[in-house]
Amino acid sequence: MPSSSVNEATVENTSEKLSDCHISCNGSHDDFVEDDVLEDDRPQRPPRCVGKCIMQLGEVTQHNIMQLKKINQAVFPVSYNDKFYKEVVSAGELAKLAYFNDIIVGGVCCRIENKDGHKKLYIMTLGTLAAYRRFGIGTLMLDHVIYLCHKDPTIESVYLHVQTNNESALDFYKKFGFQVVGTAEKYYKRIEPDDAFILEKPMNVNL
């Protein structure tokens, strides 16, 4: 298991918002954003190597949750509250930290939703520190999300919200088969543009 270290300088100095991340949380967005701004028994996949660098995913625990919070503060223009992080700690395989060697450089947080008899996986956040883009870390995290969907045949689709001006994020998700299925107007507060595209990828069944 990677050590729970974070590159503090990278976190503190990252003012540029990543183009390959998104700000999400569906209809209950305000439950997680502050006003001022499945247990997996499969064998662990081998780490992904880029040159001499090793990329892998690790668990989110009480011991490293603050490091996930620092990552999110550096990556996203909104602040997630204590309720969000409390739920993430108990999310199991639905929440992962991304490591570049032994440095925490990103994270992905999801949840399962059941609405009107339809089971979906919702990506709340997925982002990587700017200095560690272009290494395939975002792909590593999204691959994990898609794997979870394939593992549970009752999950009909995976979806998320992406800010309408985040063209790089839109291109990234479209490469994985996500399509824009709608627009959530005035989805965000205190950031512009405040609209979000809803991106969805069918899984396991024909929608």
11-51 confidence digits (pLDDT tens): 333 333 333 455 454 444 555 555 433 333 333 445 555 56
147-196 confidence digits (pLDDT tens): 999 999 999 999 999 999 999 999 999 999 999 999 999 999 989 999 99
According to the model, what pLDDT value does residue 77 have?
Answer: 81
Catalytic residues: 122, 161
According to the model, what pLDDT value does residue 33 have?
Answer: 56
Distance (Å) of CA 48 to CA 1, 44, 60, 126, 140? 14, 12, 19, 18, 8
According to the model, what pLDDT value does residue 34 have?
Answer: 53
SS3 state at 5: strand
- pLDDT band, very low/low/confident/very high, at 73 (cuts 50, 70, 90): very high
Q: What angle do CA 177, 150, 30 make, to 5 degrees?
A: 70
Cβ within 8 Å of residue 74, ≥6 positions away: 10, 11, 12, 14, 129
User: CA–CA separation, 75 vs 173, rounded Å?
Assistant: 18
The CATH homologous superfamily of the domain defined by 8-202: Gcn5-related N-acetyltransferase (GNAT) (3.40.630.30)
To which H or E segment does residue 180 belong?
Answer: strand 179-184
DSSP state of 92: G
136-153 confidence digits (pLDDT tens): 999 999 999 999 999 999
* β-strands 95-100, 103-115 pairing: antiparallel
Locate the domains of the chain by residue range.
8-202
According to the model, what pLDDT value does residue 205 have?
Answer: 65
Q: What angle do CA 93, 207, 186 make, to 5 degrees?
A: 75
Give me the residues paired with residue 201 across strands. Answer: 158
- pLDDT band, very low/low/confident/very high, at 204 (cuts 50, 70, 90): confident
According to the model, what pLDDT value does residue 22 have?
Answer: 57
Does residue 100 register a pLDDT over 90?
yes
115 vs 59, residue with greater confidence: 59
According to the model, what pLDDT value does residue 78 have?
Answer: 85
SS3 state at 148: helix
Name the residue among 147, 106, 140 with its Cα closest to residue 21: 106
Report the mean per-residue pLDDT for the chain: 82
Q: 84 and 74 in contact (C-beta within 8 Å)? A: no
Q: 185 and 161 in contact (C-beta within 8 Å)? A: no
- To the nearest whole percent, how much of the chain has pLDDT over 70? 74
Name the residue among 160, 155, 159 with its Cα closest to residue 203: 155
User: CA–CA separation, 172 vs 84, rounded Å?
Assistant: 25
- Side chain identity at 195, as an amino acid letter? D
